[in-house]
Amino acid sequence: MSAMRMKAAKCPSDELAITNCALINPDDFNSDVKHIEVSTGPSQHFVFSIRFYSGVDRGTVGFSAPQRKWATLSIGQPIDVKPFKAQNAECLCSVTLEADFMLKKTTSMEPYDSEQMARDFFDPVLQSASSPVGQQLAFAFQDKKVLSLIVKNLEAVDVQALAAGANAVPRRVRMGRLLPDGNIQFDKAENSSLNLVGKAKGKQPRQSIINPDWDFGKMGIGGLDREFNAIFRRAFASRVFPPEVVEQLGCKHVKGILLYGPPGTGKTLMARQIGKMLNAREPKILNGPQILDKYVGESEANIRRLFADAEEEEKRCGPNSGLHIIIFDEIDAICKARGSVGGNTGVHDTVVNQLLSKIDGVDQLNNILVIGMTNRRDMIDEALMRPGRLEVQMEIGLPDENGRVQILNIHTKRMKEYKKIAEDVDSKELAALTKNFSGAELEGLVRAAQSTAMNRLIKASSKVEVDPEAVEKTHGGKGRLPPMPLRMISKPAFGTAAEALEHFLSRGIINWGSPVSSLLEDGQLYIQQARATEASGLVSVLLEGPPNSGKTALAAELAELSDFPFVKVCSPEDMVGFTESSKCLQIRKYFDDAYRSSLSCILVDNIERLLDYGPIGPRYSNLTLQALLVLLKKQPPKGRKLLILCTSSRRQVLEDMEMLSAFTGVLHVPNLSQPEHVMAVLEESDAFSKKDLQKIQHDIREAVIKGVKNK
């Protein structure tokens, strides 16, 4: 049959449009015609299944909007139409359809069962009709929204070869008939919010969560390998697996990380590197105080603006939304415990509420990762740290010796490349000397050494001049600095209180007899007990004795003998004028700082003065007493060791206050009681000549004999 000249028309109704059949008047073709071929140009041929409908004018073909879009037809356009015989069409074994909502603005998280879609697809659509690649179809699935389907791939097999028992390999074809036992697979269109589930869902190309250009060896983070591995295991392992596996496990992604620890340990650096490592949107980095605004409601609006992009993409793309990272530095500035901030505005409380609702509220987001950093974890509202919010909490502590080696190598790498550092500078030796240095302090140490080296090449006379041979003299073998104590260059915030210990030991320790030797030996036993790995982690010793017997000097000597990287002196001299609450907070800070080091020693000098004890009254600070009792018995965190050395001249007072039971051991420091003890001190002092010492010794003996006779 030759082609008929007809015109394209609009499909009369939506019900007929979802049949995916072109509509023909019964008088135009015989009733045995099932398919037509439409030609719009010399090489433009399109095949449609047809349905006879008397509501269409003769000489016209009714097309739905998807059909007109596929064949680029306009209403009233002349077309050549002739019957198409599909009996010789290929038998399709597999069809791949790209699915999306018919209305592109439609967004829905409702799951669409792809297996049920495949079963329902046979009845209304193909029924042995031919289906060309590229054809766009409308599909009304159950009572849900109408879907747009595009035929993306067709595979056929040789039926005769299969019947003969031969191994028939599927091949791609342009057109064919889908039989009832054929396989249908649905792929989601790019950037579509359609949520396909089930086994008939095609494998979508998934973007790796880890940036393919990322090199873990170039992270620039030293001493934090264990912490970084723990964060990766807890927060990102679930994001590495395909969504199907995560869905089957029923697990949820971690949406929040809290990094806390002393200043300068690398919290902000780690957060930046996490943002670079992940194949996600550009991280939003801001300081906590930037959120706060003087205008009412603006602080809460600032929080909403941070999450606006994530909300928009979540609605548009659903589970395929990219990961949005929001990094809060100094998060304690905006997330203080609700009710703890004075004033009638309640701004801090509402900001916390707004942040909680965005991370894990009724309309929670699944495409976000919030990273908070703080030095004061105790100030943050507890609701923010429960599971589902900032649930991964990692302490970024002071680096150990291996970590310090890594950090020093990072900061001296460029100098080594250009040979600006002497070959005998050993990072391992420096790491052993820089106990309790943070990463920032190690960087400051390197910077201070660089500045000192450069200052030697600057001539400051009437004008400042640089030595013209500076480039050569800064070479790693020339113009080297003489050895310099590290404490002259940089001091760690969590290091040894060297100046205070030197002050206590300014007159030295005179071993005037067996009592002093016994005290030092017993003290070293307690130090070994504190170091022992199997020990509880807490050893507290009280050195008590009469005033001016040398208790503080002995405690300082034991603190130095311990060689612990963290030594802090808690003295009443530093708390003159403090209120009771301020004094308790200061003492608590000493202990909190000590818990951050693996080996710590606290010297609490003159306990009765800390307690404001007075013999007249008597009077003492019960608040300070209770704080000390709690802290003296509190076990440090796991893996941390703490040695507490206390001194007191009022043993009986401490016994009345029930403090003695809080100590692991009590050492008595006596005064000089024997003539030989006095002579040992005088001989050590070098204040007298030998003749004078002999006369003094003779006078002491005479006095002792006279005292015995008088008794």
Strands 324-329 and 146-156: unpaired
Compute the distance between CA of residue 648 and CA of residue 666 in angstroms, rounded to an integer.
11
605-633 average pLDDT score: 87
- Domain match, 132 and 236 both: no
Kindly indicate the confidence band of residue 542, based on its pLDDT and cuts at 50, 70 and 90. Answer: very high
Tokens of 273: 């590197």
Compute the distance between CA of residue 602 and CA of residue 501 in angstroms, rounded to an integer.
12
- Domain match, 69 and 116 both: no
Q: Which of 453-467, 501-515, 538-552 has the highest mean pLDDT?
A: 538-552
Q: Which of 154-158, 257-261, 320-324, 683-687 has the highest mean pLDDT?
A: 257-261
Q: Which residue has the tokens 């409601």?
A: 297
Which amino acid, one-letter code, is at 439? G
526-550 average pLDDT score: 87
Nearest to 494 by CA among 563, 593, 373: 593
Task: List beta partners, residue 79.
Answer: 6
Compute the distance between CA of residue 355 and CA of residue 361 in angstroms, rounded to an integer.
9
Task: List beta partners, residue 44.
Answer: 41
208 part of a folded domain: no
pTM, two decimal places:
0.65
Q: What is the pLDDT of residue 127?
A: 44
Which amino acid, one-letter code, is at 454? M
- Domain match, 425 and 353 both: no
- Domain match, 357 and 457 both: no
Q: What is the pLDDT of residue 345?
A: 53
Compute the distance between CA of residue 370 and CA of residue 331 in angstroms, rounded to an integer.
11
Q: What is the pLDDT of residue 159?
A: 64
Alpha helices in 9-56 (DSSP H): 14-17
Q: Which helix (H) or strand (E) holds 51?
A: strand 44-52
- Contact yes or no for 119/42 (Cβ under 8 A): no
Strands 136-140 and 177-188: unpaired
- Domain match, 372 and 246 both: yes
Kindly indicate the confidence band of residue 479, based on its pLDDT and cuts at 50, 70 and 90. Answer: very low
Compute the distance between CA of residue 509 and CA of residue 502 in angstroms, rounded to an integer.
12
Nearest to 575 by CA among 566, 562, 584, 564: 584
367 part of a folded domain: yes
Q: Per residue in 81-113, pLDDT tens?
A: 888 876 556 777 778 888 888 777 776 767 788
Q: What is the pLDDT of residue 481?
A: 45
209 part of a folded domain: no
Domain boundary among the residues 455, 488, 521 is at 488
pLDDT at 711 over 60: no
- Domain match, 657 and 703 both: no
Q: Does residue 618 have a cis peptide bond before it, meaning omega lies within 30 degrees of 0? A: yes
Kindly indicate the confidence band of residue 244, based on its pLDDT and cuts at 50, 70 and 90. Answer: low
Q: What is the pLDDT of residue 646?
A: 93
204 part of a folded domain: no
CA atoms in the 13 A half-sphere facing the CB of 632: 22
Domain boundary among the residues 367, 395, 423 is at 395
- Domain match, 270 and 377 both: yes
Q: Which of 461-475, 542-556, 665-679, 681-695 has the highest mean pLDDT?
A: 542-556
Positions of E strands within 157-283 = 171-172, 177-188, 195-197, 256-260
Q: What is the pLDDT of residue 153?
A: 81
Nearest to 152 by CA among 165, 135, 169: 135
548 part of a folded domain: yes
pLDDT at 128 over 70: no
Measured CA angle at 392 (ends 388, 396), to 5 deg: 155
Q: Write the CATH number for 475.
A: 1.10.8.60
Share of the chain above pLDDT 70, in %: 81
- Contact yes or no for 606/504 (Cβ under 8 A): no
Task: List beta partners, residue 148.
Answer: 100, 138
Share of the chain above pLDDT 90, in %: 7
User: Which has more confidence, 118 or 280?
Assistant: 118
Domain boundary among the residues 26, 56, 83 is at 83
pLDDT at 45 over 50: yes
Q: Write the CATH number for 182.
A: 3.10.330.10
- Domain match, 367 and 516 both: no
Q: Does residue 170 have a cis peptide bond before it, meaning omega lies within 30 degrees of 0? A: no
- Name the 3-class secondary structure at 337: coil
- Residues 6 or more apart from 151 whose CB is under 8 A from it? 95, 96, 97, 131, 132, 133, 134, 135, 136, 137
Q: What share of the chain is helix, strand, coil (3-state, %, to 5)?
A: 40, 20, 40
The secondary structure of residue 295, as a DSSP letter, is S
Q: Write the CATH number for 341.
A: 3.40.50.300
Q: What is the pLDDT of residue 466?
A: 66
Q: In the predicted model, what is the mean pLDDT of the chain?
A: 79
- Domain match, 281 and 371 both: yes
User: Which has more confidence, 482 or 121?
Assistant: 121
Tokens of 11: 């499909």
Q: What is the pLDDT of residue 602?
A: 92
- Domain match, 390 and 246 both: yes
Q: Per residue in 344-358, pLDDT tens?
A: 455 667 888 888 888
The sign one gets for the Cα dihedral 51, 55, 60, 63 is negative
- Contact yes or no for 642/526 (Cβ under 8 A): no
Q: What is the pLDDT of residue 123?
A: 45
206 part of a folded domain: no
Compute the distance between CA of residue 47 and CA of residue 573 in angstroms, rounded to an integer.
97
Q: What is the pLDDT of residue 472?
A: 59
- Domain match, 391 and 408 both: no
Compute the distance between CA of residue 401 and CA of residue 434 in angstroms, rounded to an integer.
8
Q: What is the pLDDT of residue 478?
A: 46
Residue 76: domain span: 4-83
pLDDT at 124 over 50: no
The sign one gets for the Cα dihedral 145, 148, 154, 160 is positive
How many domains does the structure of the chain reveal?
6
Q: What is the pLDDT of residue 541?
A: 93
Q: What is the pLDDT of residue 429?
A: 86
User: Which has more confidence, 524 or 452?
Assistant: 524
- Domain match, 429 and 475 both: yes
Tokens of 61: 């073909």
47 part of a folded domain: yes
Nearest to 136 by CA among 122, 123, 125, 120: 125
Compute the distance between CA of residue 105 and CA of residue 101 in angstroms, rounded to an integer.
8
For residue 521, give Cα distances in angstroms to 154, 454, 525, 566: 88, 48, 6, 22
Compute the distance between CA of residue 684 and CA of residue 699 in angstroms, rounded to an integer.
19
202 part of a folded domain: no
pLDDT at 496 over 90: no
Q: What is the pLDDT of residue 629?
A: 92
